Amino acid sequence: MAGQTDLNSGSVSGNSSRDDVRTHFTTREGVYKLIPLAEYSRANRLSGYTTIQNQQGAALGQGSNPPVRVTFVSLPSDPAGFCDRICFNYGRELYFYTYKGIKKPADLSKPVDKRIYKGTSPTCHDINKLTISSESVMLLVGFTGGQIQLVDPIRKEIGKLYNEERIIEKTKVTCIKWLPGSPNLFLVSHVSGQMYLYSEDVTCGGPVPPTYQLFKQGAGFSVWTCKAKSTRNPIYRWVIGNGAINDFAFSPCSKYLAIVSQDGCLRVLNYDAMELVGLATSFFGGLLCVCWSPDGQLVVAGGEDDLVTVWSFQQKRIVARGQGHRSWITVVAFDPFTTLYSSQNSSSKSSKEGADTVSSNGIGGCEDELETKSADIATCYRLGSIAMDTQLCLWELTDDVLKQPYGSRSRASMVSGPGSPPTSLKFAGQTPTTGDRNSSNTLTVAPINATIATSIVSNSTATTPVNTAGSLTQRLASLTFSERKAGQDPDLKSHRKNFSLGSGKNSSEKSTANSSASKSASSAPSSVQSQSLVTGCADPLRLIGTQACPRLDEIPMLEPLVCKKVSHERLTALIFREDCLITACQDGIVCTWARPMGPSPHHTSNSTPTNEGTMV
């Protein structure tokens, strides 16, 4: 690192103090400190080597190296007492070290395993959580050439290869993950926009290219099976959207899969049913990363619009955006350890247990139930994001912001005259959009709209008083984040209404109309978005100004709690652990940041009582 600083001193960019690389930063819970002794990198890196490597690397187009990604695993036991292992890729190399935490120095001279590949570079990796033992782990590695390798870095076994001859797929692997709860199935996404399900113990069919048969078709995606006499890989082929699939993530309940693509779309699928349940788009440009909140309520994506996009699973819409990065966002991740939960029955529950409770609930269906049940619902989420701007941002997503009604501009007509006429106008205005896009779908859409309309009419008496509160909130929605806190009161009213009724009759929001519509319209995908879902149309010109892609003034724009430059190079990995957080950057250095010492900061935030007040 020292070598790089020297280089930068001759910089022409007029670096201000703001641009200095931080070794610590402060949040409400205390000071996070960089632990220099817990820095992991390629084996036996000489001092000053980074500098040379950097110069050469840049000249050779280091920028084209795959991003450095990090995978952690905790073994059941270890003779020396260090159970954690860290795996990361750098260039054509892959390292597997014992991770000794924040107290003990990293021993870079003795990697557990180290691999250097020829002609192809590792891009991503994942370890099967189900089959871990002290003697063996199943590490999957995806490569730039599209190949996949299964290795055991502890036994040092050269594992099986999949798509070795690149017959199934030729483009770069962008994300690879074991199916949650499966000992042998894994999912691999590629730059081609295709995603394959492989079985670890099944052949790839040798030199015979697979023949596919359409299995299921949905809006903007299709699923194909492999036609063969005996079972062979790939088990399924998914074709999703337009352009590269950049990242995907399973929900904590394992039932749903969030996928982000270069076409700017966030798609949320019911994985087993192979159905699209949600669609949203970036403000512009591709989405590069995605993650789920620990309770499965929020999906967050980041990408080429430099924005963090927050999508609510329950409301099926974008509820907020975050602006703080100066370049493309490469990783978003929730911090489950500082996310605050409103736990009515047991406020002493640790957040980790909380997350588990919810995920077990989620198997019965992530929707609706969670909100009305007295399960642990997060009231203040902590989110982290990193970007190509070398900055780390931490965000707080509070209840009052996430529950704000949609749209300040588009809903103007509804405010002026509460009741059914403006509402029906609104929906009437949206129907043609679907109609002219694909007239064959009009039939499917029409019943849904009808249900929405009727349910609103029946609710119209109840909505009248609440609308006033809604309009107040709207006015506040145009204020900044800090100012908005003053506007909690009107907001709360609508919440109480919402909760007491239990069936989601709140301030005549679209979302409410949707949820009630979905209840009456049985299995119809709940949301006004269903129209875009039905057609699968992700045309940004049509989606802008809708709940799938609100205009900037239609939803809250958050500012980061913390925004610090923590590296000289583009950041590529971010992981939250119980006692630290981990960042990695393009030049192959993995840093450990110790969390502040002292009691954990649960249920001390001002937002917790707020929520308890709401849930009378």
Chain residues binding other proteins by CB under 8 A are 4, 7-8, 10-13, 54-55, 58-59, 61-64, 191, 264, 283-286, 304-306, 326-328, 388-390, 540-541, 544, 551-552, 568-570, 586
Residue closer to other proteins (CB basis): 55 or 134? 55
Interior/surface letters 161-177, b for 16+ CB within 10 angstroms, e for the rest:
ebbeeeebbebbbbbbb
54 or 71, CB closer to other proteins?
54
Nearer to other proteins, 7 or 446 (CB): 7
Closest CB 386 distance from other proteins, rounded Å: 12
Taking the alpha carbons of 605, 610, 614, 616 in that order, is the dihedral positive or negative?
Answer: positive
Both structure tokens of 374? 């007295």
Smallest gap from Cβ 15 to other proteins, in A, equals: 8
CB of 64 to other proteins, least distance (A): 7
**Pick 282 or 463: Cβ nearer other proteins:** 282
Return the bridge partners of 96, or none. 87, 113
Please identify, using beta-carbon distances, which residue of 24 and 326 lies nearer to other proteins.
326
- Of the pair 115, 325, the CB lying nearest other proteins is at 325
- Output the CA–CA distances (angstroms, integers) from residue 167 to 25, 162, 198, 206, in the order listed: 48, 10, 14, 9
Identity of the residue, 169 or 305, whose beta carbon is nearer to other proteins in the bound complex: 305
Q: How far is the CB of 561 from other proteins (least distance, A)?
A: 20
Here the tokens at position 308 are 């963090």
**Could you tell me the two tokens for 281?**
């788009």
- Give all strands (DSSP E) within 179-297, no chain letters: 185-190, 194-199, 211-218, 221-227, 236-240, 245-250, 256-261, 265-270, 275-281, 287-292
Please, which residues bridge with residue 310 across strands?
300, 320
d(CA 341, CA 356): 12
Is the CB of 269 or the CB of 288 nearer to other proteins?
Answer: 288
Cβ 387 to other proteins shortest distance, Å: 9
b/e per residue, 9-41, with b = 16+ CB within 10 A? eeeeeeeeeeeeebeebebebeebbbbeebbbb
Which CB, 159 or 243, lies closer to other proteins? Answer: 243
Residue 5, token pair as written in the block: 């600083």
Strands 185-190 and 194-199: antiparallel
- Of 266 and 358, CB closest to other proteins: 266
Query: Among residues 4 and 600, whose Cβ is nearest to other proteins?
Result: 4
Residue 244 Cβ vs other proteins, minimum distance, rounded to whole Å: 8
Q: How far is the CB of 239 from other proteins (least distance, A)?
A: 19
* Beta carbon of residue 4, minimum distance to other proteins (angstroms, whole number): 8
Q: Classify 30 as helix, strand or coil.
A: strand
- Identify the CA nearest to 330 among candidates 281, 291, 382, 279: 291
Which of 38, 39, 40 lies closest to 112 in space, CA to CA? 40
Is residue 309 a contact partner of residue 298, using CB atoms and an 8 Å limit? Answer: no
- C-beta of 46 vs 59, nearer to other proteins: 59
Question: Nearest distance from residue 598's CB to other proteins, in Å?
Answer: 34
CB of 301 to other proteins, least distance (A): 15
Question: At its nearest, how many Å lie between other proteins and the CB of residue 20?
Answer: 13
- Looking at the chain, how many residues does it have? 616
Q: Is the peptide bond before 540 cis (omega within 30 degrees of 0)?
A: no
Q: How far is the CB of 49 from other proteins (least distance, A)?
A: 14
Please give the Cα distance from 152 to 321 (Å, whole number).
41
Rounded to the nearest angstrom, the gap between the alpha carbon of residue 7 and the centroid of all alpha carbons in its chain is: 35
Going by their DSSP bridges, the two strands 265-270 and 275-281 should be labelled as antiparallel
Residue 248 CB partners (closer than 8 Å, separation 6+): 175, 177, 187, 189, 195, 257, 258, 259, 260, 290
HSE, side-chain direction, 13 A CA sphere, residue 57: 18
CB 63, min distance to other proteins, A: 6
Question: Closest distance between other proteins and the C-beta of residue 283, in Å?
Answer: 6
Closer residue to other proteins in complex, CB, 19/201: 19
Q: List the strands of the sheet with 307-312, edge to edge.
A: 287-292, 298-303, 307-312, 317-323, 557-558
Q: Whose Cβ is closer to other proteins: residue 478's or residue 600's?
A: 478
